[in-house]
Amino acid sequence: MQKERQPLVQGRSVGVLDRLPLSKMHTALLLLGLLCGGGVIFMVKMHHEEPAEVSADAAPVVKAEEAVTAASPASKEDAVADASPAAKEDAAVASPAAKTVATPAGNPTALIKTSMGEIRAEIFLKEMPITASNFIDLCKTGFYDGTRFHRVIKNFMIQLGDPYSKVASFVARWGQGGPQPHSKFDVLDPNGKHVQTKTRNGQGSIEDEFAAEISNDIGTLAMANSGAQSGGSQFFINVKHNTHLDWFDHSSPAKHPVFGKVQGNGMHVANAISTTDTNEHDRPLKAIVFQSCKVEGM
């Protein structure tokens, strides 16, 4: 079984209390208080207010006041990236660019239809050819159709792309899935022409592409992973600027390459998803489904 990717909390190590359910944490803290004779006041920040941990195949590292989901070798979910040189518009502001098919930089766009609305995103094929081509292949083959946003953390990110999430009874494995081992995909040039064929590894993962220094800014799409060479199909959309998730930021061990950015009104949909009600595992209480994806502009 693949390890679910979990993000690290920046500024401290993860202790026993971090892994306890909320009710058990309360009990543990009460016992600690009694043992100290009531003479010590314990100040504790509850992680589920702004989750500090997110379990996912590939997850980004989280700052002390934020929560991030780490992706496992089988589930490639990561944090959102900064606006790239090709996408400088503020992701949080709706604009006519929402209907753009090809971007000024010549990159294609992906129209993602979800059960809560449409999200259009520029895919950084010029800047990140391997990672972007992997995403385009999975979109075109219908791999993502029917998957759910399986991890949602307010003021942090929304994660999706795990094939296990298509089946409700597989909930214990959500965050651990990815493409078929040793499956192939075409690496494309900006015009959509075949450049070379790549083979995913034995866990269905692709190589880490540390090419363009694009930050995990608001609205960016980033790969989820659980460490080196573990990103596959899972990704996340940042709803906050998470610089600690950048592969070129050395403040944390998280390295989540950015390969796209939401355009125009799509950010309103992403923000709406990020504020949906979730359970203690950051799973939305009501299923939010990735219905289809269409790549345009190639």
The domain ranges of the chain are 51-296
- Percentage of the chain surpassing pLDDT 70? 65
Query: What is residue 63's predicted lDDT score, i.e. its pLDDT?
Result: 53
Judged against a pLDDT cut of 70, whether residue 80 lies above it is answered with no
Query: What is residue 154's predicted lDDT score, i.e. its pLDDT?
Result: 97
Between 103 and 63, the higher pLDDT residue? 103
What fold does the segment set 51-296 form as a domain?
Answer: Cyclophilin (2.40.100)
Residue with tokens 């307010």: 154
Judged against a pLDDT cut of 50, whether residue 34 lies above it is answered with no
Between 282 and 29, the higher pLDDT residue? 282
Query: What is residue 115's predicted lDDT score, i.e. its pLDDT?
Result: 98
CB atoms within 10 A of CB 210: 11
**Confidence tier at 3 by pLDDT (50, 70, 90):** low
Judged against a pLDDT cut of 90, whether residue 5 lies above it is answered with no
DSSP E strand stretches across the chain: 53-58, 68-71, 109-114, 117-123, 151-153, 157-160, 184-188, 194-199, 220-223, 235-238, 258-263, 290-296
The string over 161-180, giving b where at least 16 C-beta atoms fall within 10 Å of a residue's C-beta and e elsewhere, is bbbbbbeeeeeebbbbbbbe
Instruction: Name the residue among 2, 17, 156, 22 with its Cα closest to residue 76.
Output: 2
Question: Taken in order 244, 249, 250, 251, is the CA torsion positive or negative?
Answer: negative
Angle among Cα 49, 10, 223 to the nearest 5 degrees reads: 85
Dig out the tokens for 102 from the structure. 């090809």
**Do the Cβ atoms of 159 and 150 come closer than 8 Å?**
yes
**Confidence tier at 298 by pLDDT (50, 70, 90):** confident
Query: What is residue 102's predicted lDDT score, i.e. its pLDDT?
Result: 58
Phi/psi at 62 (nearest 5 deg)?
Answer: -110, 140
Average pLDDT over residues 262-273: 97
- The pLDDT tens digits of the residues spanning 115-162 come to 999 999 999 999 999 999 999 999 999 999 999 999 999 999 999 999
- The pLDDT tens digits of the residues spanning 168-211 come to 999 999 999 999 999 999 999 988 999 999 999 999 999 999 99
Looking at every residue in the chain, the average pLDDT score rounds to 76
| Gap between the Cα atoms of 129 and 119, Å rounded | 21
Between 93 and 114, the higher pLDDT residue? 114
| Gap between the Cα atoms of 283 and 286, Å rounded | 9
Between 163 and 83, the higher pLDDT residue? 163
The SS3 of residue 259 is: strand
Expressed in percent and rounded to 5, the helix, strand and coil fractions of the chain are 20, 25, 55
Least confident window among 57-61, 76-80, 257-261, 278-282: 76-80
Average pLDDT over residues 37-60: 37
What number of CA atoms fall less than 13 Å from residue 229's CA on the CB side? Answer: 6
